[in-house]
Amino acid sequence: MHRKHLLTSVQMARFVAYGSHRIDGVVPADMNAEATDVLRAGIPAVPYGTPLSETFADGSFAQRLVQLPEIAGAIHSFVGPDPAVDHHAVHIRKAREGDAQNLHGDAIIDVRPDAFDVQLMYYPQEVTLEMGGTLSVPGSHLRRTNESDTGRYQNLLGQTRLVCPAGTVVFLHHGIWHGGRRNDSDVDRYMFKIRFNPTVRQLRLWNTDDLYDPAVAAELGTRFPWYENATGRLEIYNRVLLWRALIGDDSYDPDYWVTRVTNRPARVVAGRSLNPHAPARVEEMA
């Protein structure tokens, strides 16, 4: 894996804040032209946990897709070498279908503070607003919900509906709130999804040359319009916890969000007895 294809620290921090990473038009036009027939025919399923290197047949469309340098670099940056494939699926939204998915996350309550799965979503066609696209809520991925608990929400301030050129790939944190929108166009809309599970610790898997760039802290501090004033601060707190795990540095805390609530000094003042029944002693002042 050449370092130039790995994500930067700023890009990784943005993913930790937003819960997504988008690469427009990364898949070549000839592959996009091939994709519709391939996706319509279906891609053979594999058992849960199959290594990525064993998931797709040699030379197959899906294998060539995940081996494109920028895509392979992003996969490595998020989940490391040869992750396991949780599952993959082809989603087809028929023209004038009339139905939309409820807003949801792709997991039951996930209590991992230091790891995540990532989902690749590939769009072989240009996706227009009329075609629906995938709706997602930036910054929602670290708020613990149970799958479709958010289904009753219709619109959240700052939500996005994907509009993109052909060949776009989007990576999503598995916890992000999202849903496929209704296709009001006359064209069927295709999307291919793969969920990856890490098989190594997600520790500095990207290009860390800019690890302590001030832009990293700026990305981690991003706020979104749907955040509540108070609870929104917990999102930033949770990002710092995740970032600490990803970089292996438990001291990283640019705005002291974590430091303030974990401060438990262990030093005992000299001459102070820990026996509650011992007589108090006057300390000598230096």
Structural domains of the chain ordered from first start: 3-197 (2.60.120.620)
30-88 pLDDT, tens digit per residue, is 999 999 999 999 999 999 999 999 999 999 999 999 999 999 999 999 999 999 999 99
76-117 pLDDT, tens digit per residue, is 999 999 999 999 999 999 999 878 888 998 878 887 889 999
For the chain, give the mean pLDDT: 92
Please provide the DSSP assignment of 216-271 as one string. Answer: HHHHHT---TTS-TTHHHHHHHHHHHHHHHHHT-TT--TT-HHHHHH----PPPTT
220-236 pLDDT, tens digit per residue, is 999 999 999 888 899 99
Look up residue 25 and give its DSSP letter: T
The token duo for 99 is 């139905």
Q: What's the pLDDT at 100?
A: 84
Give dist(CA 64, CA 72) in Å, integer. 10
Rg value, the chain, Cα = 23
156-206 pLDDT, tens digit per residue, is 999 999 999 999 999 999 999 999 889 999 999 999 999 999 999 999 999
